[in-house]
Each structure stands twice: as structure tokens, then as C-alpha cells.
């Protein structure tokens, strides 16, 4: 079977990508930022055709040069990029790691791994979104859209804007690299909105939960008991569908050179609360009842979306929100508080 380089293998999405790749028989080389994370991945997959390499700083020059020299690489899944709002300096902790990390991977592959046929890059709806259009019910977002925010907007914040800018410019870096350098590989990008779903990566406690799933922790810890918070961007996808999209985008020839808006559709926090309440009666004292206010769609409606390319080309049969919510909570209840 072919050999795949997976960056950021301890991440929420990447851990699911890793599971699919190993289940399908691929040999995988994955990178993480610490020896502790390397040990956790190795322990979870005993006997697998898997090696783990520590790359501590994504933004460092030549960060991926050594791992790119791994003999026989056929594909690359580049998922490593920061997604949190706990930084103090947007340039050094968010923008540079995302943008320089992408450039570093692509340059290393072009230089040292001539056998690579395709690089799949984890981007985001953040690279598509226009904040000014989020309240426009006549707007339809698709792969044709690019976030209009500038690098300078990212430096100034606020944190959600800075994150969105980091994803835009990291994805742009991939497309620009292919256009300008004309390497021996092509690129496909995966652009999910909020990603929910069960965990496949190691967590020491629920305090370390990824940003998208933090709403489920708040829900089961009673923080929605008296009021359900607003939903945010109202588009979502299950992590297992995102992982499958990554692998299918790697395997399917027609996916090369394409951008994929991978969303299952709309969600509201009220729908999430309802699904969890019905599935977990033992959590009733923590969960909001049906008459608790909040968590609905905006009265003016939401923008529209077009996910037809991902549905057709990648063959995704999207997991529904109720199933994802229940599976997420089942997973979280296995983690120490």
C-alpha cells in the first residue's frame, strides 16, 4: 500500500484521518509537536504500520525537511494548524504557524519527496466566510467564495477574525505554491465549518477539549441550564465525515486541484440540547428543558450554502446533527472532568 505523511497527527481531525488510513492498510508517517503526543499515538496503535516524528515548531524554517526525506512517500495530508483563541500575539502564535507551516510542508515535499502525487490541506469555512454576509439570508456560500479580510485585519483581531485570516492565507499559500512552483503534485483543500463529533485523540481532561466541541462540555456540565447560548455560524459537520473527505480527496483522481466545502448543513444549539436530552435522561439535572430560552436560528433566517461538490465528488453521506451530538457526548463522558 502507498505511504502517507500526515502532519499534526494528534489533532481532533487528524486522529480520525489516521484511523481511516490505518484501517485501509496505508503505511503512515505522522508528525506531532512533542514526545508525549508521540507516545500516546504509538500506544493507541500497537503493531500498526506507523511511525511518529516530532516537529516542535511548524513555523520554523525547514520544519518538515527531515520528515519529507522519508523514502517512498506517495501522499501528504497536511492538517497541522493552530485552532484556539488563547494566543497573545496573532502574528507569531496564529498567522505565521498556519501560513509558514503550509509553505514549509509544500516546499519540503517538492524538494525531497518527488514521488508525492497529491497533498490534501485542511482549510476551513473560515477561509470562505465573509463576516459582512453572515446575516444575509440571500447569500449562498460555496467554494467560489474567499474571506475578504486582509492580513492586517488578522493582526488587529478580534480573535475570531484573526483565526479566519490565518486559515485564508494558509490555504492561499497552498494554491499559490502550486501555481507558481508547478511541483510534481497537485493539491486539494478541505473547508469544514464547525466540526463536532467523538474524539479519537488523547485528552487528559475535558479542560483540553477542542474549540468546536467545547459547547458539548458546557452543555453536559450544566452551563446551558438556564439559557441556551446562540449557535454561532450555524453550519457544522461531523469529524468522521471530514476525515473521510480527506481520504477520499486523496484517493479520487477527480478531486485533484479542487476545493471542497464540507458541511452537513445547519445546526442550532437548541437542536443539540434536544438530542442530548432525549438520549441521556440521566443528565436531566444538567440539561436545559424545552422551555429554556435561547439557542434558536435568527428570526431573519440564515445565509445559504452549496455543498454539492463535496457531496458528489467525495461521496459523503452526511451524518445528521442528532447522531453526531449523541456520539459526541458518549465520547466526552469517557474523559475525566
Mean pLDDT of the 68-78 span: 97
- Residue 185 domain flag: yes
**pTM of the entire predicted model:** 0.95
Quick one: cell of 157?
A: 483581531
CA distance 142 to 145: 6
- Residue 213 domain flag: no
Report the chain's mean pLDDT, rounded to a whole number. Answer: 94
Secondary structure of 56-105 as H, E, C letters: CCCCCCCCCHHHHCCCCEEEEEECCCCCCCCCCCHHHHHHHHHHHHHHHH
CA distance 333 to 60: 37
Reported as a single tens digit per residue, the pLDDT across 279-309 is: 999 999 999 999 999 999 998 889 999 999 9
- Residue 87 domain flag: yes
Q: How confident is the model at residue 84, as a pLDDT?
A: 52
Q: How confident is the model at residue 232, as a pLDDT?
A: 86
Quickly count helices (H) and strands (E) in the chain: 12, 12
Which secondary structure element, helix H or strand E, spans residue 266, and what is its range? strand 265-266
Domain containing 309: what range? 3-198+235-264+304-318
| Integer angstrom CA distances of residue 5 from 64, 158, 268, 332 | 11, 34, 36, 28
Mean pLDDT of the 87-112 span: 89
- Residue 106 domain flag: yes
- Residue 155 domain flag: yes
> In 95-158, where does DSSP find H-type helix?
96-112, 151-156
Contact 310, 193 (CB under 8 A): no
- Residue 72 domain flag: yes
Looking at residue 69, which CATH number applies to its domain? Answer: 3.40.50.720
Give phi and psi for 336, each to the nearest 5: -60, 140
Reported as a single tens digit per residue, the pLDDT across 25-60 is: 999 999 999 999 999 999 999 999 999 999 988 778
Q: How confident is the model at residue 336, as a pLDDT?
A: 84
Provide the 3-class DSSP secondary structure of residue 30: strand
> In 222-320, where does DSSP find H-type helix?
239-251, 269-279, 308-314
Least-confidence region, from 50-59, 111-120, 244-253, 304-313: 50-59
Q: How confident is the model at residue 82, as a pLDDT?
A: 56
Least Cα distance to 233 among 190, 208, 263 occurs for 263
Q: How confident is the model at residue 87, as a pLDDT?
A: 66
Q: What total number of domains does the chain contain?
A: 1
- Residue 173 domain flag: yes
Q: How confident is the model at residue 85, as a pLDDT?
A: 53
- Residue 177 domain flag: yes
CA distance 14 to 221: 27
Q: How confident is the model at residue 251, as a pLDDT?
A: 98
> In 234-295, where does DSSP find H-type helix?
239-251, 269-279
Q: How confident is the model at residue 90, as a pLDDT?
A: 87
Which pLDDT band, with edges at 50, 70 and 90, does 83 fall under?
low
Amino acid at each position: 500500500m502507498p505511504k502517507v505523511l500526515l502532519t499534526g497527527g494528534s489533532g481532533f481531525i487528524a486522529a480520525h484521518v489516521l484511523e481511516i488510513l490505518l484501517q485501509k492498510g496505508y503505511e503512515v508517517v505522522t508528525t506531532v509537536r512533542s514526545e508525549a503526543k508521540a507516545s500516546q499515538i504509538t500506544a493507541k496503535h500497537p503493531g500498526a504500520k506507523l511511525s511518529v516524528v516530532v516537529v516542535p515548531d511548524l513555523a520554523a524554517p525547514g520544519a518538515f525537511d527531515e520528515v519529507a526525506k522519508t523514502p517512498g512517500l506517495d501522499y501528504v495530508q497536511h492538517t497541522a494548524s493552530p485552532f484556539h483563541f488563547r494566543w497573545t500575539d496573532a502574528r507569531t502564535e496564529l498567522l505565521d504557524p498556519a501560513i509558514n507551516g503550509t509553505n514549509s510542508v509544500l516546499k519540503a515535499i517538492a524538494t525531497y519527496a518527488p514521488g508525492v502525487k497529491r497533498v490534501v490541506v485542511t482549510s476551513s469555512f473560515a477561509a470562505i466566510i465573509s463576516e459582512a454576509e453572515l446575516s444575509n439570508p440571500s447569500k449562498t456560500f460555496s467554494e467560489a467564495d474567499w474571506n475578504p479580510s486582509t492580513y492586517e485585519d488578522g493582526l488587529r483581531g478580534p480573535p475570531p477574525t484573526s483565526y479566519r485570516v490565518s486559515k485564508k492565507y494558509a490555504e492561499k499559500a497552498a494554491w499559490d505554491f502550486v501555481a507558481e512552483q508547478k511541483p510534481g503534485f497537485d493539491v486539494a483543500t478541505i473547508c469544514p465549518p464547525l466540526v463536532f463529533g467523538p474524539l479519537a485523540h488523547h485528552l487528559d481532561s475535558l479542560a483540553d477539549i477542542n474549540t468546536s466541541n467545547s459547547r458539548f462540555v458546557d452543555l453536559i456540565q450544566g452551563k446551558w441550564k438556564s439559557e441556551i447560548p446562540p449557535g454561532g455560524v450555524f453550519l457544522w459537520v461531523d469529524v468522521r465525515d471530514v476525515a473521510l473527505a480527506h481520504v477520499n480527496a486523496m484517493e479520487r483522481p477527480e478531486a485533484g486541484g479542487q476545493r471542497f466545502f464540507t458541511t452537513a448543513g445547519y445546526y442550532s444549539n437548541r437542536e443539540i440540547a434536544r438530542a442530548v436530552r432525549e438520549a441521556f435522561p440521566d443528565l436531566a439535572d444538567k440539561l436545559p428543558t424545552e422551555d429554556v430560552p435561547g439557542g434558536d436560528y435568527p428570526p431573519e433566517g440564515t445565509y445559504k450554502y452549496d455543498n454539492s461538490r463535496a457531496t458528489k465528488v467525495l461521496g459523503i453521506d452526511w451524518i445528521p446533527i442528532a447522531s453526531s451530538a449523541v456520539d459526541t457526548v458518549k465520547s466526552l463522558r469517557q474523559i475525566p472532568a
